């Protein structure tokens, strides 16, 4: 990341302690911080970095849930490890099967909890809702007048 300096170190320190998340404060207080984001390229870059980090965490944890569900489906329906468990490892098939299913279920639970923690501990829902609202407004502006919803007129 480029070495830039915050134009107002006091405000920059406050924003850094909040991980550049101002979604939880009142709209009157938020105005000053939003103005600082407009003026200060350092804090704007940090804001972008932290929201990118939040999105990455949410994507990684949701992918973990999907991969563990896929692994469970594979174990339950294809049973590809029977040969390995029986001939190479010399394990009992039932115990191997139960161990893999237990690991899969534990993985799904753990990654789902991690996904929920990411959603609750970060301002990601607010951030994504804001992006969706801006996109829908942009799309509605390009629609013909007869198709637009009544609230945008």
Contacts to Zn ion by CB under 5 A? 6, 12, 40, 42-43
- Closest approach, Cβ 12 to Zn ion, in A, equals 4
Where does 5-153 have alpha helices with state H?
A: 9-17, 27-39, 41-77, 82-83, 93-121, 124-142
Cα–Cα dist 34/18, whole Å: 14
Nearer residue to Zn ion within complex by CB, 44 or 79: 44
Nearer residue to Zn ion within complex by CB, 13 or 131: 13
- Closest approach, Cβ 26 to Zn ion, in A, equals 20
The structure tokens 């984001």 sit at 37
Nearest by Cα to 31 from 54, 11, 51: 11
Nearer residue to Zn ion within complex by CB, 38 or 133: 38
- Closest approach, Cβ 128 to Zn ion, in A, equals 24
Q: Which class for 22: exposed (0-12), middle (13-18), buried (19 or more C-beta within 10 A)?
A: buried
- Closest approach, Cβ 4 to Zn ion, in A, equals 9
Nearer residue to Zn ion within complex by CB, 36 or 61: 36
């Amino acid at each position: 990341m480029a070495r830039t300096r915050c134009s107002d170190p006091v405000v920059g320190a406050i924003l850094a302690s909040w991980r550049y998340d101002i979604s939880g404060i009142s709209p009157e207080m938020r105005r000053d911080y939003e103005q600082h984001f407009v003026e200060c390229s350092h804090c704007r870059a940090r804001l972008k970095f932290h929201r990118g980090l939040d999105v990455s965490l949410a994507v990684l944890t949701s992918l973990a849930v999907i991969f563990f569900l896929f692994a469970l489906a594979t174990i339950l329906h294809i049973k590809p490890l029977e040969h390995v468990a029986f001939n190479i490892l010399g394990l009992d098939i039932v115990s191997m099967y139960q161990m893999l299913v237990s690991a899969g279920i534990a993985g799904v639970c753990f990654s789902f909890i991690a996904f929920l923690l990411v959603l609750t501990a970060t301002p990601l829902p607010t951030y994504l809702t804001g992006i969706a609202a801006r996109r829908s407004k942009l799309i509605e502006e390009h629609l013909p007048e007869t198709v637009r919803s009544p609230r945008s007129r």
